[in-house]
Structure 1
């Protein structure tokens, strides 16, 4: 990539002190550029530091070493330039749908009039297909509708970066699938830059432009999504590259995430340049199914 990235994660590490001395390393030497408008998913087994990385990006945690640069400035704490959508909806129960969104927008744009804030919020209510529910409180909404409000609230402050912490994991399968496609549509339409953590391989395949594979330590590799950009959850399994991609990700989670340290032992490894692969169907010219880019 020749274009300067919007977000640059540089030599990031997080360690915690052990009882009795020493340190436990959650992850270290993480390098990752994220371009403007890109949707990046991070997957890895429990305990590899996914949520900790997201908290550092949000400014809710401090790294032990390294830094995160957003639009040319190192982050040092929370900012309205970075919006977070959590697993729970985190809505204020005494406020309406419009009130929850307006509260965030007014914090971001205190100079705006009430009418301007309301019109701006309505645009995002419409964007997540909640028109007609503006005056309902969270107790009157389904789980999927609450998450739509959370998405609208995050997007309405027009952040440089949207951080998503498994926001669909608590929903039923039907609602989850619908919201995944809504999130992808909205982010493509708005050009939103997104960093998302997930355990769900199919979710990452549907949403992400690139998928970062994590171990305890450095990232193992970066997977470029070979599926077409207009993919849909209901039909992407028919694409020739679907199973090569899915099998590659599944093998990593089940096997390679635990053996990666021994895999690179004795071999040159530059954490600044992790392997970039594009799993795809074997073509007539015999290109390997997980061709290095």
Structure 2
């Protein structure tokens, strides 16, 4: 029986699409505490989106378990808001109507005036107050993605799941929306699980960064603790003495160590040649620039 008090707990999660073939990922284990912003990074095909879909209740794992607040995740729920790379707005509705529709689904007993006021609050939070009566065809790509983020926040989910939400945006728009997301998360204490391929984005946004080895048989090899101050800013965070050790650690994993972890998962000998966690099922908590690596089997991640 599940008795831990972690906000989210994933235990030995594995996914195989075709019987007899290697799993996309296996033995995935991690915890997320309430209010944490966690990013997951890995090469294409390692199963990041599948993990997110399992957490959203949109897909079932082949084995293992995922719990939120002690309850096993089975099927989609408005307790978990999802923002995909595509905005998925209803084109015949205005910005306000799109968000009203979601809010009414979550709070069907609310009067119309309360729904509208609630929706408008989140429209203002993402800076779209002047565009609330516009339809998606009248919005830029960045504005559409802001609507998707506002809609996800407006249903007040206990957890927000983001699948590369800024991947298709230009650099300037991406930066603006990242800053908006940081402000909203700071004000709402939102718990977030986000997929990204952008190392700098992960450092800017996250409290922890999970690193996945290459697939098949992918697993979370490390969990990197972001040691930069919480009130970090894009323009100045590279001045922090921990920034480059952390960035170099992440890039080195993607370029080199992720391949070593994958190779070691198939090896039957010489496992000690690999520095990263390859002999345990659970990932290590890593603090780049600090003195030691600490196994999360013996250290609580905060």
- TM-score after normalising by structure 2: 0.89
Task: Flag structure 1 segments of 5+ consecutive residues without an equivalent.
Answer: 281-286
Alignment RMSD (CA, Å): 1.5
State the alpha-carbon separation in 1 of the partners of residues 231 and 178 from structure 2: 13
Residue range with higher mean Cα deviation, 114-123 or 262-271: 262-271
Matches within 5 A, 1:141-160: 141-160=139-158
Task: Find runs of 4+ consecutive structure 1 residues off by over 6 angstroms.
Answer: none
Q: Give the match for residue 284 of structure 1.
A: none
Deviation string, structure 1 residues 17-67 (Cα, Å, up to 9, x no partner): 16xxx2221101111111010000000011110011011111111100011
Q: Give the match for residue 283 of structure 1.
A: none
TM-superposed CA distance for 1:231, in Å, is 0.7
Match of 1:171 among 169, 172, 191: 169
Q: Give the match for residue 81 of structure 1.
A: 79
Deviation string, structure 1 residues 241-286 (Cα, Å, up to 9, x no partner): 11111100000001111111455754583323x2111112xxxxxx
Q: Give the match for residue 5 of structure 2.
A: 4
Q: Give the match for residue 284 of structure 2.
A: 275
Give the secondary-structure state (helix, strand or coil) at the position aligned to 1:101.
Answer: helix
Q: Give the match for residue 222 of structure 1.
A: 223
The answer to whether structure 1 residue 257 and structure 2 residue 272 are counterparts is: no
Match of 1:41 among 39, 42, 61: 39
Matches within 5 A, 1:1-293: 4-17=5-18, 22-215=20-213, 216=215, 217-262=218-263, 266=271, 269-272=279-282, 274-280=283-289, 288=291, 291-293=292-294
State the alpha-carbon separation in 1 of the partners of residues 284 and 18 from structure 2: 31
| Number of equivalences | 279
TM-superposed CA distance for 1:134, in Å, is 1.2
Asked whether the equivalents of residues 5 and 69 of structure 2 are also in contact (C-alpha less than 8 Å), the reply is no
- TM-score after normalising by structure 1: 0.92
